[in-house]
Amino acid sequence: MTRLSVNINKVATLRNARGENVPDVVEFALACERAGAQGITVHPRPDERHITRADVYELRRAVNTEFNIEGYPSPDFLKLVIEVNPDQVTLVPDAPDAITSSAGWDVKGEAEFLAPIIERLRSAGIRTSVFVEPDPAQVKEAARLGADRVELYTKPYADLFPLDPDKAIAPYIPAAKAAVDSGIGLNAGHDLNTHNLHFLYRRLPRLDEVSIGHALISDCLYWGLDETIKRYLNCIR
């Protein structure tokens, strides 16, 4: 079964625009769970422009489904996730000032940096996912370093999908096979929406999880939360 994890960063962005607690990110996360989402994702950044460190601690206490924390593995980030002990940590190669994730790791080039981080997280009992391009070599290297999963960066797929779905998905099929052959799990995320998600799901049948934020939160403005979650879940069934 492919699980839906809702990235709630944009809810925190809206809250922070007024400096108060409306909307409440914890209440929104719980509403996502009640609507059927199987996980909650956050990506705390050093400047706390959306999800804050305090949010992470509060969400850990409140979330009843899977809790996934994304981020660049700086010393501060690692300290936070070791203390919070989420179900999954997704390592991304973002610069501190990045607006959003824009590339996967060069796992082979960064192996010396990533290996001890992956080992530290696994020793803490945290499932570790590495954000990668749809490249079988990078997937296999992540597995060699001890990652439990990879998350395929799907923006190139989303960009090309309206023009040529088959060409858009083509690089992802061997990358997904590399994950299965290597014995690790497979996640996907970035710019997925109700237009392109079901096609991805059908072509990558061993997909464990999709993490979706911007499009899903935006769709809530039109359809409401419960209907939006329902439509996304229907895409992965």
Q: Catalytic: 70?
A: yes
Active-site choice (33, 141, 151, 190): 190
Q: Quote the strand ranges of the chain, DSSP E.
A: 3-7, 39-42, 66-71, 88-91, 127-132, 149-153, 185-189, 209-212
Residue of 227, 192, 195 whose CA lies nearest to 213: 192
Active-site choice (33, 70, 133, 209): 70
Query: Can you tell me whether residue 207 is helix, strand or coil?
Result: coil
Q: Is the dihedral of CA 122, 127, 130, 135 positive or negative?
A: positive
Q: Catalytic: 43?
A: yes
Q: Catalytic: 50?
A: no
Query: Can you tell me whether residue 95 is helix, strand or coil?
Result: coil
Is 134 within 8 Å of 175 (Cβ atoms)? yes
Active-site choice (33, 43, 50, 133): 43
**Active-site residue list:** 43, 70, 190
